[in-house]
Amino acid sequence: TKAVLINSPNNPSGAVYGEDFIHQLGELLRKKEAQYGVPIFLISDEAYRKIIYDGRNYPFVWPHHQQSIVATSHSKDLALPGERIGYIAVHPSCSQREELVDGFIHCNRILGYVNAPALMQHVVSHLQSVTVPVTEYQRKRDFLYNHLNEMGYSVMKPQGAFYMFPKSPLEDDVAFVRELQQWLVLTVPGRGFGSPGYFRVSYCVDDKTLEGALAGFRKAAQKFNLC
């Protein structure tokens, strides 16, 4: 094992890892580093760090593992999908810090990935305390979660991000997503996330869109005997 990649708040489940979990993960990684005599990197994909509900927060991973790398994006917290702007931070005491940073620069410059314009890189540095209205997102989460629950869908209440990941009433999640499409409700099959049997709903949309989707969710729930 060269690296462990975690994503919290999570896309697609909305789960947020607590301090205990990150602490135990750090301990496990250090134990395995000692056992195998190699560094094991902890990569924390934190694109949704600023979108967390119910007063929770996501701990910083650096105090729990020295060989750690944090990846962020402003696609979500500034609602700029497709803008491809964020940053990667390497733990200051990481043993291969220089090589890693050189590697990241190489990827960005040479391999043709999208580079954020220099002007915007300066602009976002002044927007670190700005974020989308999280209480609005929480209200949308509660609205959709309560309705899906009441219709009989089995779904974990998201703690962050803006997705819900209910169990598909059909074993074949692609067939169920197609069924919802008939009712003009667009969702994503869970198998694309390595979790067949589930489907992902994004709720960072207008209230009208969420309200409009309820009839389709209900029709599908009735058809497959959830309620």
Ligand X SMILES: Cc1ncc(COP(=O)(O)O)c(C=O)c1O
Instruction: Give the pair of three-digit tokens for residue 89.
Output: 């931070």
Q: Binding to ligand X by residue 159, rule CB under 6 A?
A: no
Contacts of 190 (CB under 8 A, 6+ apart): 12, 165, 168, 173, 196, 197, 198, 199, 200
Which range touches ligand X (CB under 6 A), out of 36-44, 50-58, 73-81, 180-188? 73-81
We find the least distance from the C-beta atom of residue 73 to ligand X, in angstroms, to be 3
CA distances from 114 to 7, 109, 132, 213, 216 (A): 22, 9, 24, 34, 38
Binders of ligand X among residues 75 to 134 (CB under 6 A) are 75, 81, 84, 86
We find the least distance from the C-beta atom of residue 67 to ligand X, in angstroms, to be 20
Number of residues near ligand X (by CB under 6 A): 9
We find the least distance from the C-beta atom of residue 219 to ligand X, in angstroms, to be 29
Kind plus residue range of the DSSP H or E element containing 202 = strand 199-202
As to burial, measured by CB atoms within 10 angstroms (0-12 exposed, 13-18 middle, 19+ buried), residue 76 is buried
We find the least distance from the C-beta atom of residue 204 to ligand X, in angstroms, to be 11
Contacts of 168 (CB under 8 A, 6+ apart): 176, 177, 190, 197, 198, 199
What's phi and psi for 57, nearest 5 deg? -145, 170
Find the radius of gyration of the CA atoms of the chain: 20
* Amino acid letter, residue 146: N
Nearest residue (CB) to ligand X, 63 versus 81: 81
Q: Binding to ligand X by residue 44, rule CB under 6 A?
A: no
Nearest residue (CB) to ligand X, 45 versus 179: 45
Q: Binding to ligand X by residue 68, rule CB under 6 A?
A: no
Residue from 146, 170, 174 nearest 158 by CA: 146
Contact pick of 73, 159, 168, 187 for ligand X (by CB under 6 A): 73
Q: Binding to ligand X by residue 69, rule CB under 6 A?
A: no
We find the least distance from the C-beta atom of residue 128 to ligand X, in angstroms, to be 16
Beta bridge partners of 6: 44
Q: Binding to ligand X by residue 8, rule CB under 6 A?
A: no
Nearest residue (CB) to ligand X, 88 versus 226: 88
CB 203 within 8 A of CB 163: yes
Contact pick of 11, 13, 168, 187 for ligand X (by CB under 6 A): 11
Binding site for ligand X (CB under 6 A): 7, 11, 45, 47, 73, 75, 81, 84, 86
